[in-house]
Amino acid sequence: MALLSSMIDKISNVRVLVIGDIMLDRFIYGKVERISPEAPVPIFKLNHEKKMLGAAGNVVANLAALGCKVTFLGVVGNDDVGKDISDRLSELGIHNHLLRLNGYPSITKIRLIAGNNHLLRADQEEILPVVESLLPKFRRILLSAVKNTDIVLLSDYNKGLLTPLTTPMIIKLCQEYGKKVIIDPKGNNYEKYTGATLVKPNLKEFSEAVGCKYNPAEPDFYEKAKAGAKKLLEKYHIQSLLVTLSEYGMIYISSQNPDEILQIPTEAKEVFDVTGAGDTSLATLGAAIGAGVPVKDAMKLANAASGVVVGKLGTATVTMEELKAALSQKEVAEDGWPQKRKIITLKQAEKIVQRLREEGKTIGFTNGCFDCCHLGHLDSFMQAKKQCDVLIVAVNSDTSVKRYKGENRPIQDEKTRAMLLASLELVDYVIVFEEDSPIHIVEALRPDIVAKEGYTLDKWPEGRLVQSYGGKAVILKRLEGYSTSGLVEKMKG
């Protein structure tokens, strides 16, 4: 895994040219608590809104998050949305050639989201008209951009930019200058993709292109997939195909060795949203191949990135740090202890809590030494968990326990204590902290509920802090007859 991590570091030096359909994604978050008396429809109570780049713009955003040097070529309308898209590209530091077309509305997709459920999507879009007068300018810009890039990514959303006229022009220029071109396709007409280095359809798109339905659960799927891939590779002189299979991972077939199929299993363990996962996969795969990473390892990186992004809500990006963390967690899980995924840093916790809040989840927090985990601790966790959707437990480090309990404690080291807590179904995440007090964690995470036994508010600064911003401090009922000190005395006796 260290090797893959070193490959991630190479990505930041890659120059990537992205060409494709760009749009603005608007995510409006809120709650549904009742049905309208006017009609049998839910009443959506708006909370907040997020705007971000969508389609090819999401590919660009993911590349920027990975640290790549990105150039974008696309078309928007000469309107407010087009200006918003242009501004967002500039904020990301993207060198862009954004052609503005009068009379053409920039594409916008609006999603209403309650909790982590999509209620409705409203689209404003028109297919981009063919404007012959723009083609010479498009080719001039394209020629300069292709010369100064390491790899070219085409993000085709079938909105009118990547046509049977422009797409072959792009591929031909890439061939002339020895640049690899990777395509995320749309539709079943692969004629325009002739000569591409790699085409990356999902299973549905692959099925439509071949004209045959595929089911990865069937025992003969791989043989059928190889036969279908051969047809596309031979007919359109495509060098290789990478088919994403959702929960079944992805497969790769090359024209150089069409009888061999390479499969990578999925990384996603808990899926909140698949919006933009294909864009993340394309960006990571393209950047990795552009950096000279072997295809198999590039697939692993793309798969790991997709696994991160489907755990987020809405169109999302993956940073280099998140990708490294995902690979690190995968390495940890492979030693037989998947519970280690639940042991996180404060920085990781901040991002997780932010995502959970967008999903409408209630965050709970408690802390302690938990030296010898006993029934009293379990009872406290049970009480705390009833108050929230997600329970985060902070556990004192060994040095912190010694300062608090004396040199003979803890009996069990911090790794053991953290693992025992992470193994409990009642506990969602564990943070080990060095300080005497966890108040810095409460300040950073701002949980909705903080729970603790044996304290009154006047001696509980964390509880007062949570109450100060409108949260709830819950004093847990102690289960009498259980304590670590009592266990220690019994063992001594």
Q: Which residue has the tokens 């847990």?
A: 476
User: Superfamily assignment of 2-336 in CATH?
Assistant: Ribokinase (3.40.1190.20)
Specify the pLDDT at position 273. Answer: 43
Specify the pLDDT at position 109. Answer: 96
Per residue in 235-291, pLDDT (tens digit) is 999 999 999 998 888 999 999 999 999 998 876 444 444 556 789 899 999 999 999
pLDDT of 408 strictly over 80: no
* 8-state DSSP, 343: B
Torsion of CA 197, 202, 206, 208, to 10 degrees: -130
Query: Is the fold of 2-336 the same as that of 343-492?
Result: no
Average confidence (pLDDT) over 307-322:
71
Per residue in 169-182, pLDDT (tens digit) is 999 999 999 999 99
Give dist(CA 163, CA 171) in Å, integer: 12
Torsion of CA 156, 162, 163, 169, to 10 degrees: -130
Specify the pLDDT at position 141. Answer: 95
Per residue in 433-492, pLDDT (tens digit) is 988 899 999 999 999 999 998 778 888 999 999 999 999 999 988 877 666 666 666 666
User: Superfamily assignment of 343-492 in CATH?
Assistant: HUPs (3.40.50.620)
Per residue in 115-132, pLDDT (tens digit) is 778 899 999 999 998 878
Per residue in 338-363, pLDDT (tens digit) is 777 788 889 889 989 998 888 889 99
Q: What percent of the chain has pLDDT over 90?
A: 63
More confident residue, 329 or 213: 213
Give dist(CA 164, CA 193) in Å, integer: 8
Exposure pattern of 133-165 as b/e (b: 16+ CB <10 Å)? eeeeebeeebeebbeebbbbbbbbbebbbbeee
Domain spans of the chain? Answer: 2-336, 343-492
Q: What predicted TM-score, i.e. pTM, was given to this entire model? A: 0.69
Specify the pLDDT at position 329. Answer: 62
pLDDT of 335 strictly over 80: no
pLDDT of 200 strictly over 80: yes
pLDDT of 493 strictly over 80: no
| Distant-in-sequence, close-in-space partners of 67: CB < 8 Å, separation ≥ 6 | 11, 12, 320
As a whole number, the mean pLDDT across the chain is 88
Exposure pattern of 280-313 as b/e (b: 16+ CB <10 Å)? bbbbbbbbbbbbebebeebbbbbbbbbbbbbbbb
Specify the pLDDT at position 9. Answer: 74
pLDDT of 218 strictly over 80: yes
Dihedral pair phi/psi, residue 79, rounded to 5°: -145, -175
Q: What percent of the chain has pLDDT over 70?
A: 91
Specify the pLDDT at position 377. Answer: 86
- DSSP sequence for 220-286: THHHHHHHHHHHHHHHHT-SEEEEE-GGG-EEEEETTEEEEEEEE----SS-S--TTHHHHHHHHHH
Per residue in 19-74, pLDDT (tens digit) is 999 999 999 999 998 999 999 999 999 989 999 999 999 999 999 999 999 999 99
Of 55-69, 146-160, 395-409, 457-471, minimum mean pLDDT range: 395-409
Q: Is 279 one of the catalytic residues?
A: yes
Specify the pLDDT at position 289. Answer: 96
Assign 456 to helix, strand or coil.
Answer: coil
Specify the pLDDT at position 492. Answer: 64
**Exposure on the CB side of residue 312, measured as CA atoms within 13 A:** 19
Catalytic residue among 21, 150, 273, 279: 279
| Distant-in-sequence, close-in-space partners of 133: CB < 8 Å, separation ≥ 6 | none
Number of neighbours of residue 56 by Cβ within 10 angstroms: 28
pLDDT of 88 strictly over 60: yes
Biggest CA–CA distance in the chain, Å, is 93
Average confidence (pLDDT) over 284-301:
92
